[in-house]
Amino acid sequence: MLAGPDHGFRPNLYHPLEQAVLNRKTMTDSKNLWGGRFTGKPDETFAAFNNSFGFDKRLFGADVRASIAHANGLENAGVLTDKETAAITAGLRKLLENAGADKSFFDGSEAEDVHSFIESKLVAIIGETGKKLHTGRSRNDQVATAFRLWLRDEIRGISGDVKTLQKALIAAAERHKDAVLPGYTHMQRAQPVLWAHWCLAYFEMLARDLERLDEVTARVNILPLGSAALAGASFDIDREAVAQELGFQGVSKNSLDAVSDRDFAIEFAGSCSLIMVHLSRLAEDLIIYATAEFGFITLSDAVSTGSSLMPQKKNPDALELIRGKAGRVFGHQTALLATLKGLPLAYNKDMQEDKEAVFDCVDTVKTCVNVATIVIDNLTVNEALTLEAATKGYLNATELADYLVKKGVSFRTAHDAVGRIILDAINQGKELDELTHEDFAKVSSDIGDDVFESLSLEKTLASKSQTGGTSPIMVESALAEAKKRID
């Protein structure tokens, strides 16, 4: 605690778990699914450490849906009567309804996790019949099923958000279809490219992200329910029928693997990490382009902040936060790998750590993708400045070398000649297109008066006419294709 006078207000400086350690009380009302073996109550500190309801309540809807399918599977196996199944499914649907209507539905619960919360609520509604629902399953396969079901839906949502960002990039490209800016290597001006070509580069990165999310979904979308604790269920439940009801593509092939598999969570975090890499690179480009030194773009007030001290400042905070939040997603993937690397088969409580990592990956990626879309929608390209930058700094040097190659000069000889010409231009303080024919002829007799057409910006861009190039014709075609791919 901080030293100082006590003025009647003592802020809680402790994490809830630390506060429980200080209190050292014994739980008086433990809500769990495993009490029969125990005669004593769990220590409050341990209970706080062990419980996951505070975060896994996000799985509520998915777990209820899976429980309804499990009830139907039990009925088809002859474990439940049709009357019992009707009561259970009606009770579960009532829980969904109550959760949607009551914002305080989850408040004040002492449940260990969302699964025990649902069971206790169900029993409170329909009585003893609710206690039959857990027949033939364990929390091990129950958790894995709800987690996969929830994540499958979230991936679908993230994919939709990524596509919206792709559409924003296409729209930004079309708003400034004729804008030209320097392309860079090693952060040095290299060759001119169209702004639309720049936009489409990030479109392609996001397209690969969508492919990865689809691939992850295929491995997420496998039903583990029916694996029970680790050895499989003892009741003749038609797992394929349950999988079909829940929209899973198949069922797990090995019960030990099914309850302990979190590869899909790591793969998802990896896909999220690459999305964040791409968003961070996008943010970095735009942060640089928005500086006074570059001035290539202007961010609207909607996505900028000011300084508390310097009135003239307009800061790209949205982009900086995207760049900064990438690290936390990378950390979640590393944490998941570290958690699983030494676990023996089958389920271990360590695996409870998967939820918060994946939940935060989902939240962070969705937020960052949506904010990136807003930024793209709220920027303007300063076309005069980008054009000036694209025509200064000898960005047409490669075109001069290619010109000589077309005259029959080997590329290596042409490269050396152009280097000497540029050195002369630097000494004169001129761009290549400002030199005279005599200046060129001093270095190479193969250069004729037609060289100036080859050095023009229009010719430089138009020459990049192969698939994937930045010529106006190719970029126009690429934009049209991108729209079709989105649709």
CA 171, 173, 176, 180: dihedral to nearest 10 degrees? 170
Collect contacts of 403-406 with beta carbons under 8 A, ≥24 apart. Answer: 403/447, 403/451, 403/454, 403/455, 404/444, 404/446, 404/447
Q: At what angle are helices 195-220 and 472-486 packed, to 10 degrees?
A: 30
> Between the CA of residue 116 and those of 120, 145, 231, what are the distances in Å?
6, 15, 22
Q: Is 15 a catalytic residue?
A: no
CA–chain centroid gap for 256, Å, is 30
Cα–Cα distance measured from residue 375 to residue 279, given in angstroms and rounded to the nearest whole number: 11
First to last CA, the chain: 59
Strand, coil or helix: 228:
coil
CA distances from 436 to 428, 432, 445 (A): 11, 9, 13
Q: Collapsing DSSP states into helix, strand and coil, what is residue 209?
A: helix
Residue of 307, 410, 465, 477 marked active site: 307
Could you give the CA distance from residue 143 to residue 55 in angstroms, rounded to a whole number?
13
- Whose CA is closest to 196, among 186, 204, 188? 204
Catalytic residue check, 186: yes
Q: Taking CA 469 as the corner, what is the angle to CA 463 and CA 471, rounded to the nearest 5 degrees?
A: 50
How far apart are alpha carbons 390 and 458 in whole angstroms?
11
**CA 356 distance to own-chain centroid:** 15
CB contact set of 8 (below 8 Å; sequence gap of 6+): none
Q: Which of 7, 186, 234, 445 is catalytic?
A: 186
Q: Return the exposure string of 27-42: e unless at least 16 CB atoms fall within 10 Å of the residue's CB, then b.
A: beebbbbeeeeeeeeb
How many H-runs (helices) and E-runs (strands) does the chain carry?
20, 6
Task: Show the tokens assigned to 194.
Answer: 């169209």
Q: Are 298 and 290 in contact (CB under 8 A)?
A: yes
Question: Whats the size of the chain, residue-wise?
Answer: 487
Q: Which of 407, 394, 392 is nearest to 447 (CA)?
A: 407
- Kindly list the catalytic residues: 186, 307
